[in-house]
Structure 1
Amino acid sequence: MEITPQDGTFVIDPAGRDIHGEGARMRARGPAAKVQLPGGVEAWGVNDLSLLRLLLTDSRVSKDPHRHWPTWINGEISPESPLFVWLVVTNMLTAYGEDHRRLRRLISSAFTTRRTAALRPRIEKIVTELLDGFEALEPGLPVDLREEYAYPLPIAVICELFGIDDEAARDEMRRCVGTFFNTDAEPDEAAAAYPRMLELLGALIAEKRENPGDDLSSALIAARDDDSRLSEEELVGSLMLFIGAGHETTVNLLDNAIYALLTRPDQLALVRSGRVGWDDVVEETLRAESPIANLPLRFAVEDIALDDGVTLRKGDAILSCYAAAGRDPRVHGDDADRFDVTRANKEHIAFGHGVHHCLGAPLARLEAMIALPALFDRYPGLTLAAEPGELRPLASFISNGHRSLPVHLTAG
């Protein structure tokens, strides 16, 4: 249910119970709608695909709260806020101008296309092992594919990529990242997750300095230690960004794609017939069910006048509403809410746009293009083990997925 304060600002539900409904209601208020985030934080919810593209490439829009957001500068965001961790870190996600260009050059030099492509055999092996593991399960019992398939694959890949071998550390990092995305978490839980993640990353960095390997953690540490182009704070923040974003988005992509095909058998039939490819499934899922629904935050460096008469004032916060933009009827027509793998225009910005476009997008797509056909080939009779309306969304206005995805694994 929409909650509206007396000034007409749209209140975003921190529990993420109706992300697409909220997106539609924001669009009805205009391409940029005033929204209220947890803690009474006000922002502009930009939901129009064209406008969002423009702002994401506008030099008058910053990601750095330390320089461009009075609310942060004045100490008004506490560690208990679900927004805190998205603002306090120093990495590509929060950098602006030359700092961002420097960090992106350093990171992209390590996170190369060659390194991503070389992961294909390992991804295929992990997928096969996960599917083989299902064979030992008791027949007839439901399996939570989010927990047992969508999660383990990207976590295994990102941890191997960054040389995180300690299973206990992997599990703790996953719990911390889950709390970062849980925007309805208890304040004490939210406040504890960030310092714990810092401890885990500090231990990883110390171990890699002592025993460097052929992994991205070691490569970033070498960039830091060789010529100090990367500060210690930036090193920690960059590792946090890649480990967190490196699996959460892919988990949601797999979760949403599987759900979409199981609830729309006509669409699955099109894929199985060969009329459309798995790339169509991936891109339509990214459009209709953006893994990141709303990304906090950007900031107006100076006043920005929009075409509809709205002016973003210097220091105003901007919420990038990727899920709403993916269903923009001005781009995708009156059926923008419908999942359709045959849709000619699957335009989306689920991985961001411009200088902040996600470096891990090719890896997420690669994982999905391997994991989805392998699952449906192994279990052509796969069905949901619950009614669609029984599945609960994640408790988040940032992350878009299900808390669980129960299925029956039927071979035929």
Structure 2
Amino acid sequence: MEPFPLDPTGHDIHGEGALLRERGAVTPVELPGGVVAWSANRVDVLRRLFGDPRVSKDPHRHWPAWREGRVDEEWPLHMWISVHTMFTAYGENHRRLRSLVSKAFTPRRTQSLRPAITRIADDLLDELDAGPDVADLRTKYAYPLPIEVVCRLLDLPDDTRPGLRQAVDVIFDTTATPAESAANQRHIYEILDDLVAGRRRDPGDDLISDLVAARDEDDGRLTESELVDTLLLFVAAGHETTVNLLDHAIAALLTHPDQLALVRSGERHWRDVTEETLRWQAPVTNVPLRYAVEDIDLGDVVIRRGDAILPAYAAAGRDPDLHGPTADSFDITRPDKTHIAFGHGVHYCLGAPLAHLQAEIALPALFERFPDLALAVPPDDLRPVRSFISNGHQALPARLRPA
């Protein structure tokens, strides 16, 4: 079967996901630069692969195309592969790197952020309340809230935040040219290197300082590249999923007034909104990449040793074999909201409880502050971000009060 070329613009990710499922639970796809990978697009198959020790996330050890230079630094998705973090680690290396940051996401520490998140949400709502009646809720609410949470976790200086935000946006933009991607990579590492140097001079009570100490006090626990790349992972992955979760949850409720009425009446919980949004609009469409350590026989398909695997989270969330003929519908009363939006197994997202907490606070706060909230444009006018990785809107214009 010829590889299916993924649309780098992400123009119709769910139409594309349906085509992938029709081709099979695991099917070859073509990424930018002619790179071929196996798209896995069913929840059961993804869980099987994610729990299989023969599946790695380390291209330096298990992707021959990377090791042999057939995929190089000119590849637009280079930064998704080249970083040295728990995101691209395998086995003992993954356990070592994950253990260094897991203490930042314990249930107690996550819940301790509730007052701060509530204040951030209230401040953003105050700004919306004081502004014009029509506002872009992605730019003014869904985007800045998780960014501010991550910035406080890392204690990022104010002057570094705009540059980091812009750089992260380029990382997720799969239409970026090799030159744009390379320039962005240089820019973001300049910012991160300066941050690390600053914490070495003046450490504080924050995650960056903790990682710097782990690097400097015990050289075997963390390399310099792992330190810097872990900061990049926190900044990038630490907000993008939550931004898109909030964005799509707001859009879903504004385009499904019957569902909004259910949660406002108390018949359904805001947690139902979050889980159904994660299933219906996975915040990350596809996540590059994993690799077969050995041949993996899936029945209809054999993934050969060294082959790349692209988990298709958005396609899996709408699998009709799992969710029936209404898989494409947003329904918070759905008994089974099974999704894989935060991964599965040893690489399950550490920040998932924090993302849930932010949604639990931000969504009811918004709809309580603005009970007449409505989209300011027809739903068909909402445009997706230019990416087959990130799943969100370019803008979410909403009318805060009746015209």
Structure 2 length as normaliser, TM-score? 0.98
Q: How many residues align?
A: 402
Could you tell me how far 1:349 is from its partner in structure 2? 0.9
How far is 1:158 from its partner? Answer: 0.1
1:116: how far off?
A: 1.4
SS of residue in 1 equivalent to 2:326: coil
Find the residue that maps to 1:394 and give its secondary structure.
Answer: coil
2:182 equivalent to 1:182: no
Aligned to 1:247: 239
Q: CA RMSD in A?
A: 1.2
Confirm or deny that 1:259 pairs with 2:242: no
Task: Map 1:69-88 to 2 at 5 A.
Answer: 69-88=63-82
Whether the aligned pair in 2 keeps the contact of 1:46 and 1:319 (CA below 8 Å) is yes
One of 127, 136, 139 as aligned partner of 1:133: 127
1:112 positional shift: 2.5
Residue 322 of structure 1: aligned partner? 313
* Residue type at the aligned position of 2:304: R
* Secondary structure of 1:44's aligned partner: strand
Tell me what 1:288 maps to: 280
Q: Which moved more, 1:186-195 or 1:196-205?
A: 186-195
Match of 2:205 in 1: 214
Q: C-alpha separation between the residues in 1 aligned to 2:118 and 2:132?
A: 25
Does structure 2 retain, via aligned residues, the 8 Å contact 1:154–1:250? Answer: yes
> How far apart are the structure 1 equivalents of 2:204 and 2:271?
34
* 2:53 is the counterpart of 1:59: yes
Question: Is 2:240 the counterpart of 1:277?
Answer: no
* Equivalent AA in structure 1 for residue 228 of structure 2: V
In the alignment, structure 1 residue 19 sits paired with structure 2 residue 8: no
Residue 28 of structure 1, aligned match among 12, 22, 29: 22
Q: Is the alpha carbon distance of 1:357 and 1:299 closer, same or farther for their aligned partners in structure 2, counting shifts above 3 Å?
A: same
Correspondence for 1:160: 152
Instruction: Provide, for residues 13-34 of structure 1, a one-character-per-residue CA deviation record: whole Å limited to 9, x for no partner.
Output: 0110111111110000111011
Give the deviation of 1:188 after TM superposition.
1.9
- Alignment equivalent of 2:227, drawn from 230, 235, 239: 235
Indicate conservation of the 8 Å contact 2:76/2:177, yes or no. Answer: no
Quote the Cα distance in structure 1 between the aligned partners of 2:75 and 2:254. Answer: 36
SS where residue 289 of structure 2 aligns?
strand
**Counterparts of 1:401 and 1:134 in 2: how far apart (Å)?**
21
1:114 partner letter: R
| 1:113 to partner: Cα distance | 2.3
What letter matches 2:378 in structure 1? Answer: E
**Aligned counterpart, 1:200:** 191
Q: Distance in 2 between matches of 1:112 and 1:230?
A: 21
1:115 matches 2:109: yes
Secondary structure of 1:347's match? coil
Residue 190 of structure 1 deviates from its aligned partner by 1.2
Q: Is the CA contact (8 Å cut-off) linking 1:82 and 1:182 kept in structure 2?
A: no
Q: Distance in 1 between matches of 2:366 and 2:102?
A: 31
Residue of structure 2 equivalent to 1:44: 38
**Deviations 1:339-384 (CA, angstroms, capped at 9, x unpaired):** 1000011111101110000001111110111000000000011011
The CA deviation at 1:50 is 0.2
Q: Distance between the aligned counterparts of 1:401 and 1:184, measured in 2?
A: 15
Letter in 1 for 2:360: M
Residue pair 1:77, 1:83 contacting (<8 A) in 2 also: no
Q: How far apart are the structure 2 equivalents of 1:409 and 1:81?
A: 43
Match of 1:144 in 2: 136
Matched, 1:395 2:389: no
Q: Residue 309 of structure 2 aligns to a residue in which SS?
A: strand
Asked if 2 retains the 8 angstrom alpha-carbon contact of 1:79 and 1:190, the reply is no
Which residue in 1 is equivalent to 2:118? 124
Residue among 363, 367, 372 paired with 1:372: 363
Seq. identity, %: 59
Question: How much has 1:117 moved relative to structure 2?
Answer: 1.1
Matching residue's letter, 2:33: G
* In 1, Cα distance between equivalents of 2:72 and 2:398: 40
- Residue 93 in 1 paired to residue 87 in 2? yes
Does structure 2 conserve the Cα–Cα contact (< 8 Å) formed by 1:378 and 1:411? no
Alpha-carbon shift at residue 307 of structure 1 (Å): 2.2
SS in 1 for 2:278: helix
Residue identity in the other structure for 2:38:
W
Structure 1 length-normalised TM: 0.96
Q: 2-side partners of 1:331 and 1:199: how far apart? A: 45
Name the aligned partner's letter for residue 130 of structure 2: A
1:78 offset after TM fit, Å? 3.6
Residue number in structure 2 paired with 1:4: none
Consecutive unaligned residues in structure 2, runs of 5 or more: none
Counterpart residue identity of residue 350, structure 1? A
Deviation of 1:147 (Å): 0.4
Name the SS for the 1:334 alignment partner: helix
Q: How far did 1:225 drift? A: 1.6
3-state SS, counterpart of residue 71 of structure 2: coil
Deviation per CA, 1:269-299: give whole Å up to 9, x if none: 1111111000000000001100001000000
SS class of match (1:138): coil
Q: How much has 1:411 moved relative to structure 2?
A: 7.0
